[in-house]
Amino acid sequence: MADAKVIPFDDDRSRGGAGGAAQRPSRRGAGSRRKGAGSASMGEVQPLPGRASAKDDAPVPREHREPHEDRPREPVADGGVRPDAGDGGGLDRRVASGLAFLRRRLTGDYAVDDFGYDEELTDQVLMSLLRPVYEKYFRVEVKGIENIPSEGGALIVANHSGTLPLDGLMMQVAVHDNHPADRHLRLLAADLVFMLPVVNELARKLGHTLACAEDAARLLEQGELVGVMPEGFKGLGKPFADRYKLQRFGRGGFVSTALRARAPIIPCSIVGAEEIYPMIGNGRTIARLLGFPYFPLTPTFPWLGPLGAIPLPTKWTIQFGEPIHTESYPPEAAEDPMLMFNLTDQVREQIQHTLYKLLVQRRSVFF
């Protein structure tokens, strides 16, 4: 493989070139459970077919109810309630929805945008695969989600760490599952991501695109939520001894892009990713042979083979800080190097300060 090349975020390069999740159905009308009765006498008036008798309409005492009848139903977005686990109708709907999804995939009846983003596949499949890792394995806690605007373009700037870029994926799930406006985060990635087979296709389906100023500007102009990690490989592959010490944020290209688009900059601090693969060494010779920016040596990898590639189950916290607004700056501000330097330093210092605060509050790496 050719040597990996890190593309500066503010590199102006050209590159050739959005549907909603279906709402959950509301609960079926809850019918009363009919009690067994003896044979009716000939003179007794029988209820009309399909209607319950007055006796059946009476409320059932709590001690005679089935356990699932007392369990509260979970509300869903459309104001209804999620079908109960015992609801045959709920299972039927899920099966029908799954078959319809497969039919659309097989017939090509689905939409992707100019960057290859497939919203339906992301919502129904890819997020479902990432969610157990997010909820059960890393047990991510999200703070400050209200700082992300409900509409319009915005640039989320986060620290980068962990040897493998799982922090970006967890940040994407955090926005997708917690934001009240159901916003999607579009991440900017290094060119190495798009050189790897399979990873390339999955990244584009998830909405990732090349970390260049042109793509970032187009997404912001379309009102998208864009995520960038300016540390790049310097942050991702730094030694474990340098954990939670931010590396250089490049030349401020992300600030220039936000100023041109008049989009707010939202600092994001991620705690927990540094310890998933404690990098105690770097196999530089192997990295050069493979065309990678670094080859991590951890306490478990490569000594335990594939088992060594399993990340440690650390406890994560993702905090979105207060936005830094750019609307008040004039258009020519994007060309002012001193302003870009000051804003870049302001974002970096805010992320670093929040990291230290979260580390002080953390009880344990794993709990």
How does pLDDT run across 31-40, given as a tens digit for each residue? 333 333 333 3
For the chain, strand residue ranges (E) read 141-143, 154-158, 185-189, 209-210, 225-228, 265-271, 281-282, 296-297, 317-320
Question: Is pLDDT of 277 > 70?
Answer: yes
So what's the pLDDT on residue 90? 81
CA separation for the pair 351, 340 (Å, rounded): 17
Confidence band of 54 (pLDDT split at 50, 70, 90): very low
So what's the pLDDT on residue 229? 97
CA separation for the pair 84, 195 (Å, rounded): 45
Task: Convert the pLDDT of each residue in 122-153 to its tens digit.
Answer: 999 999 999 999 999 999 999 999 999 999 99
Q: 163, 298 in Cβ contact below 8 A? A: yes
Q: 11, 190 in Cβ contact below 8 A? A: no
- Region of 345 please: left (phi>0), alpha (psi -120 to 50) or beta: alpha
Confidence band of 251 (pLDDT split at 50, 70, 90): confident
Question: Mean pLDDT in the chain?
Answer: 82
Q: How far is CA 222 from CA 148, 261, 263, in A?
A: 16, 10, 11
Cβ-count burial 24-57 (b if 16+ within 10 Å, e if not) = bbebeeeeeeeeeeeeeeeeeeeeeeeeeeeeee
So what's the pLDDT on residue 87? 52
So what's the pLDDT on residue 289? 94
CA separation for the pair 223, 335 (Å, rounded): 23
pTM of the model: 0.75
Task: Convert the pLDDT of each residue in 65-121 to its tens digit.
Answer: 444 444 444 444 444 444 444 555 688 888 998 899 999 999 989 999 999 999 999
